[in-house]
Amino acid sequence: MTDTPIHAIHLTVNGIDYPVAVAQGRNLLSVIRTEIGLTGTKEGCDDCECGACMVLLDGQPVNSCSYLAVQAQGRAITTVEGLADGDALSLLQRNLLDEGGVQCGFCTPGMLLSATALLQRNDSPSEEEVRIGLSGNLCRCTGYTKIVAAVQRTAVEIRAAARQA
């Protein structure tokens, strides 16, 4: 292989600008975890199958294990650390805990990001739509039922809050 150039780029993660130096073939997941130091995003299969590495790129879910870091320049990247407001968890995060949708927790960051993207484009998803929205995220503990319930409960509460506003 020829010399791999190092690209000096800026990544915007959870609204914060990070200057990083990355090799051309480097995946976004490893840069987020290693260079930027945000380890909420997980490496599961490292093969675009399990969804543990899910992040949002301009609001849309992306498997960061299989996305080039250099291609994410200028995009708004959201990781699980960006969902809470300080110590205050998001509504979806609270509901996932309340419903018992977290067991070992490894899939949880990816689930949260896929579900957040789903709820941003559809505030009244059917159970089927929730399951499709989460279909790229594998969970080996919960059996999914409680995760789906948490997303649907969140949708109900988002709509109720919107009516009151």
Partner 1 sequence: MSFAIARTIDEALAGLAAGARPIAGGTDLVVGARHGKAPLPDDLVAIDRLDELKTVTRTALGVSIGALVSHHDIETHPLLTSIYAGLADGSALVGSPSTRHVGTLGGNIMNGSPAMDTGAPLAVMGAEVELRSLRGTRRVPVEQLWVGPGRTCAAPDELCVAVHIPAPPARAGSAYVRLEYRRAMEIAVVGAAAVVTLADDGAVATLAVALTAVAPIILSVTGLDALVGLGVSGAAAAVGEMAATQATPISDVRASDRYRRHTVGVMARRAVEAAARRAGGETIAIPVNRAIGIGAPS
Residues of the shown chain interacting with partner 1 in the complex, contacts defined by CB under 8 A? 1-5, 7, 24-25, 27, 46-49, 51, 54, 57, 60-63, 65-68, 70-71, 73-74, 114, 117-118, 128, 131-133, 135-137
C-beta separation of 53 from 110 below 8 A: yes
Least Å from the CB of residue 133 to partner 1: 6
Torsion of CA 32, 33, 37, 41, to 10 degrees: 90
Amino acid at 43: E
Least separation in angstroms between residue 52's CB and partner 1 is 12
Nearer to partner 1, 98 or 145 (CB): 145
**Cα–Cα distance between 71 and 43 in angstroms, integer?**
19
Smallest CA-to-CA distance from 1 within 33, 35, 25 is with 25
Return the number of the residue (24 or 161) whose C-beta is nearest partner 1.
24
CB of 87 to partner 1, least distance (A): 29
Cα 78 to the center of its chain, rounded Å: 7
Residue 25 or 100 with smaller CB distance to partner 1: 25
**Whole-number minimum distance, CB 70 to partner 1, in Å?**
5
The nearer residue to partner 1, 102 or 117, going by C-beta atoms, is: 117
State the helix-helix crossing angle for 145-164 and 108-121, rounded to 10 degrees: 40
